[in-house]
Amino acid sequence: MNANVEHLDPRQLFKEKNRPAAEDLPFFDVPTPYYLIDLRALEDNLRLLRAIMDVSGCKIILAQKAFATYPLYPLIGKYLSGTAASGLYEATLGREMGEKSEVHVYSPAFKESDFDKLLGLADKIVFNSFSQWKKYRGRLLDHNLSGGRQISPGLRINPEYSELEHAIYDPAAPNSRLGITAAQFKAGMEAGLLEGIEGIHFHSLCEQNADALENTLDAIEKKFGAFPQDLKWFNLGGGHHITRADYDVDSLLRSIKRVQEKTGAEVYLEPGEAVALDTGFLVSEVLDLVKNVSTTAILDASAACHMPDVLEMPYTPKCFLVQDASRSGESRWYEGAEADQLPYVIRFGGPSCLAGDIIGEYSFDVPPLPGDRIVFLDMAIYTMVKNNTFNGMSLPSIGVYPDKKTYKTLKSFSYEDFKGRLG
């Protein structure tokens, strides 16, 4: 860590920042549904992550499972050290960020046909079990001896500790298939199975502050004991909500320094959400209002198709209503609140035939009407990478703002995209 830097306060990092609020975004110009990414907010996040790298000496890579909008990789590559991949396609995409960007690959189990291709792409390959390491060890070492891209092998451990409330996202839960437990790790060390291993990886966080990382490191030290001192790298995984306003950056720096001093290894972080947190919007339009027990506004955006985490987590995304200027002479904004807090209560539902395609229930100061825009917040992460065309639903276009003082569409989807998926 840079001895001249005692504290890293994200609020101080961007004192010069004076970009307009979201009200300047062109929500009535874009065709709906539409994912709109604010490049100013994205670069703010990247600058903070880069500052943490510079201060601590760690490396931060993009977990593509959360955000893989490839046209923005040149920008991301200016700040971060590379990408984390979960398989062959993500590794191939990550390699396209550039030869100077690292590609880390982890999978619960590798297919033989994929593994040979990964040898030409990866800088680090993380194995989920000793059996996988034994199976592929010879191939990896032969590849390194051949003079090709040198690949550093690592093992994923299971800390057997987490603070997550949602079991579907808890990789350290009892009976998890992800990572080597402490008992298995100690037995492997005694059997000499760590020979050739250069790194350790763990991942047990999800949208959490730095105190969860400190507690996880405590648990690892208690369960696993001292790690080998000849490790070259130690990957602390993802789930670090670093770019959130209340994130304790100083605590993160202490944890990084702790691992550096105890292992002598280079430390990596692989956040996905933190890279694009609060940078994206899903812009939709009210198509109709239907009344049963309560009133539901039918939107042209679908929870099931365009924001699957709303149903998987589940959670209710924040949103606001934007009225067209033609109704009142100027565009007006109304923030959505929890149901029953404001006069007009309404549910938002998607246009698919799934009965449960409900985004959530909200209340507003004014009633949403057909033609109004409903803008959902924090829709850059785990949306575009997970969306689908169930029911023949059209996928939202993807665009950025600003681009020469206006928005730019990066990708649009058509009937051919839907048709081509299945034949």
CB neighbours of residue 76 within 10 Å: 24
Q: What pLDDT shows up at residue 165?
A: 85
Residues 6+ apart with CB under 8 A from 314: none
- At the topology level, CATH places domain 39-276 in TIM Barrel (3.20.20)
Domain spans of the chain, in order of start: 39-276, 280-379
CB-based contact 393:305 (threshold 8 Å): yes
Q: What pLDDT shows up at residue 258?
A: 97
Q: What is the pLDDT along the chain (423 residues), one digit of tens a residue?
A: 433 344 445 444 443 344 445 668 899 999 999 999 999 999 999 999 999 999 999 999 999 999 999 999 999 999 999 999 999 999 999 999 999 999 999 999 999 999 999 999 999 999 999 999 999 999 999 999 998 889 999 999 999 999 998 888 999 998 999 999 999 999 999 999 999 999 999 999 999 999 999 999 999 999 999 888 889 999 999 999 999 999 999 999 999 999 999 999 999 999 999 999 999 999 999 999 999 999 999 999 999 999 999 999 999 999 999 997 776 667 788 999 999 899 999 999 999 999 999 999 999 999 999 999 999 999 999 999 999 999 999 999 999 999 888 999 999 999 999 999 988
Q: What pLDDT shows up at residue 207?
A: 95
Q: Which amino acid is at 125?
A: I
The proportion of the chain whose per-residue pLDDT surpasses 90, expressed as a percent, equals 86
Q: What pLDDT shows up at residue 331?
A: 75
What is the pTM assigned to this prediction? 0.93
How far is residue 418 from each of residues 118, 308, 374, 381, 392, measured CA to CA in Å? 29, 18, 25, 22, 7
CATH of domain 280-379: 2.40.37.10
Query: Residue with structure tokens 């507690």?
Result: 215
Q: Which amino acid is at 211?
A: D
Q: What pLDDT shows up at residue 19?
A: 42
Residues 209-257: tens digit of each pLDDT:
999 999 999 999 999 998 888 899 999 999 999 999 999 999 999 999 9
- The CA angle 172-67-359, to the nearest 5 degrees, is 85
